Amino acid sequence: MSDLAGLMLSIFGVPVTGLIILISHLLSSQMDMLRRSSVFAAEVMEVFERSPPDKELVSQAKALCRDYIHSRLIRAGIVWSKPECAAASPASKLTEVSAALLRLGDELEYIRPNMYRNVAKQLNITVSSESIVSDAFLAVATEIFSAGITWGKVVALYAVAGGLAIDCVKQGQPAMVHTIVDCLGEFVRKTLVTWLRRRGGWADITKSVVNNDPSIRDHWLVSAVCTFGHFVKAVFFFLLRER
């Protein structure tokens, strides 16, 4: 045994060949970790590259809001015509998403009907002022998402928009519907757009929530119903601020 080999044996307590194998295994493990990290990073980048740009995500959010409000107004027996400019994105892209959003909204509103009715009355606001309507909607939206973002909370946000829009039209202020749509779009731009990009866009709701798996359905419903507490809290603080 050479002096170098003897020294290595005395230091590491393993034969030279064993040490070489050990180092080889360590290097292989590190390379495998780097490779997996690179693959994960590439997958993340691919999702971002596939995602629509921020401006398009906001435009789609507003188009979905118009669809949701239009559906709720029709259900309430109120006539309201969506403007033609609502179709900022190809309709085929959002048809499935809009249908999913409406279906999930139906379930949520069935569970908590009083939460999404007479929203203006709950907030104790008049709907004749754009600033009042915007401030009230943003106060509720901010509180709903104060503890994080989920698809359940997104559905709840649209349900609030639908309920408030019905109040506006019933009180002779149909123009306020556009204020609500613009306000939701601005909230999405400031708060939700990065989260949406990470998930690949609005179409993710059809994969993550609209599923026959009971555990997934339970998860989104619990997440959505839990927004009731945030809604009540937002109403309380909004009323307190207005006094």
166/176 Cα distance (integer angstroms): 10
At position 189, the amino acid (one-letter code) is R
* Contact yes or no for 189/65 (Cβ under 8 A): no
| pTM of the shown model | 0.70
User: Quick one: 29 exposed, middle or buried, by C-beta within 10 A (0-12, 13-18, 19+)?
Assistant: exposed
Q: How does pLDDT run across 85-144, given as a tens digit for each residue?
A: 444 444 567 899 999 999 999 988 888 888 889 999 988 889 999 999 999 999 999 988
Q: How does pLDDT run across 159-210, given as a tens digit for each residue?
A: 999 999 999 999 999 999 999 999 999 999 999 999 999 999 999 998 877 6
* Contact yes or no for 190/85 (Cβ under 8 A): no
User: Phi, psi (5° rounding) for residue 30?
Assistant: -65, -40
Containing 140, the helix (H) or strand (E) segment is: helix 130-144
